[in-house]
Amino acid sequence: MQVVLFDTTLRDGAQTEGISFSLEDKLKIARLLDEAGIHYIEGGWPGSNPKDIEFFRQMKSIKLKHAKLAAFSSTRRAGMNVEEDTNILTLLEADTPVAAIFGKAWDFHVTDALKTTLDENLAMIWDTVAFVKKAGREAVFDAEHFFDGYKANPNYALKCLKTAEEAGADWLCLCDTNGGTLAFETQTIINAVKSKLKKPFGIHAHNDSDCAVSVSAMAVYCGASMVQGTINGYGERCGNADLCSIIPILKLKLKVDCVSDEQLKNLTELSRHVAEIANLPQSFHQPFVGRSAFTHKAGIHASAVAKHPGTYEHIDPELVGNERRITISELSGVSNLLSKAKEYGVDLKKDSPESKALIKTLKEMENQGYSFEEGDASFELLLKRALGAIKPFFELEDFLVETHKKGQEMLNVRAYVKLKVKDKHFEATGIGDGPVNALDNGLRKVLEDIYPSIKTVKLTDYKVRVLDSQAGTAARVRVIIESADETKSWGTVGVSTNVIDASWKALVDAIEYKLMLESK
């Protein structure tokens, strides 16, 4: 069975609240989608804004290896000749091999939204599809609100499809535009209409009932040979069907060879790369590609996965370019600890005194508020320090942070730091925008001459979480710092009733982790 993937990240996905793709963003994503094996890339609606017009102009000089580029538009306006409709003329000026045309398939929308007659809507569909076909384009007809329309007036919804088909449409896409259709309803409706269609049909589902992926998979099960969706499920309201779930479901569950094995292995990286371009965090809990998709926290789970991954994993994470993670938490047991120790190259025995002591220490620290799920580097340092595998690269003797504000002037923050390094004493003063920045600068002033490699370390994220808010200003806080160099990123954690002290602990671990990597 052949199923093609139609990506609308650059059009439907761009309608996500919080996303504003630049022209360069759209060009980057188009290249990524092409490399990922996507068959159709819907680049935008050239009739709606100048940026999409310029996107299609620039795409003419980019040779796609795999995908066909599609431009999007509505059917002609009611009461207007198609040859005079500027939207349709602009669509053709985009000069793409594919034109995606949406038209109403719900009688309620025709009469109440378009304010026209049912017959005129059919004429609008016919005229537009026939016009783009005459211009030599491959035509994809998106039957907007098809499932709601079929529930309300099945004869008319089907007539909209047949009109597009008779006008020459190459694809008939059934749209669940409001996202309210459930998978079993999809099955019933598709089975009722597919025998009446001559052209191949597809599915375009929205996620308002959290069913977009299941609706899409059911449609393929029932015979759909095109699936429309977006990377990471981006889209208006609750989003569109997530191709990062649909692709592995098709390939690994339904045995539909929609992308190559190598392209499937790059899926996690694709998801993260597009999220980075969109300037949105990738959901840790996103199926298949999320950071937590194959993460095991409970000791029982970790123990079982160590014996056989299939006990708590439905696929091998490497198939989609993801990885198995074992986290350390208050729910952890010896199995989690042994698994993490093995990951870090430490030979730790199950019943050893060191294992028992470490488990006790970890549970006490978690009780204080430590969380190593986002502080893997701090945990590795803790483990190796406890086993004597590493020794401190420097020791704090003293630090003092001063914040001075006069009237409406800018804050002046200074941090004095005194360290002991290799039996010698060093001190420096750092200036910063805030106390943590000043401490970081003071720490680096001392250490960069002694350990030049830390010059490559950059702080990429800083998070503060109040742990017991009922304690008011005396509450404990957890600080998580993300750091990175040219090749790797890592997280460190610190906990204290003082946010500067918690930040210092996380800063020290961030630097010591880099030095530990260098010492290897």
In this structure, which topology does domain 395-519 adopt according to CATH?
A: Double Stranded RNA Binding Domain (3.30.160)
Q: Is the pLDDT of residue 450 over 90?
A: yes
Among residues 77, 9, 83, the alpha carbon closest in space to that of 40 is found at 9
Share of the chain above pLDDT 90, in %: 70
Among residues 57, 65, 141, the alpha carbon closest in space to that of 98 is found at 141
Q: Is 109 helix (H, G, I), strand (E, B) or coil?
A: helix
Non-local (6+) Cβ contacts of 409 within 8 A are: none
Q: Is the pLDDT of residue 409 over 80?
A: no
Given this model, what pLDDT does residue 373 score?
A: 67
HEC sequence for 67-91: CEEEEEEECCCCCCCHHHCHHHHHH
Please give the Cα distance from 417 to 447 (Å, whole number): 11
Given this model, what pLDDT does residue 334 score?
A: 60
Q: Is the pLDDT of residue 295 over 60?
A: yes
Task: Answer for the pair 339, 326: CB distance below 8 angstroms, yes or no.
Answer: yes
Residue 300 — very low, low, confident or very high, per pLDDT cuts 50/70/90?
low
Please give the Cα distance from 13 to 237 (Å, whole number): 10
Residue 473 — very low, low, confident or very high, per pLDDT cuts 50/70/90?
low
> Mean of the per-residue pLDDT values for the chain?
91
Given this model, what pLDDT does residue 364 score?
A: 79
Domain boundaries, the chain: 4-259, 395-519
Bridge partner list, 42: 70
CA atoms within 13 A on the CB side of 193: 29
Q: Comparing 349-353, 380-384, 435-439, 467-471, which segment has the lowest mean pLDDT?
A: 467-471
Segment (H or E) for 55 = helix 50-59
Q: Comparing 170-174, 212-216, 420-424, which segment has the lowest mean pLDDT?
A: 420-424
> Which residue carries 């730790």 as its tokens?
348
Among residues 315, 267, 322, 269, the alpha carbon closest in space to that of 291 is found at 322
Report which of residues 304 and 494 the model is more confident about: 494
Question: In CATH, what class is 4-259?
Answer: alpha beta
Mean pLDDT of 62-67: 95
Q: Is the pLDDT of residue 439 over 60?
A: yes
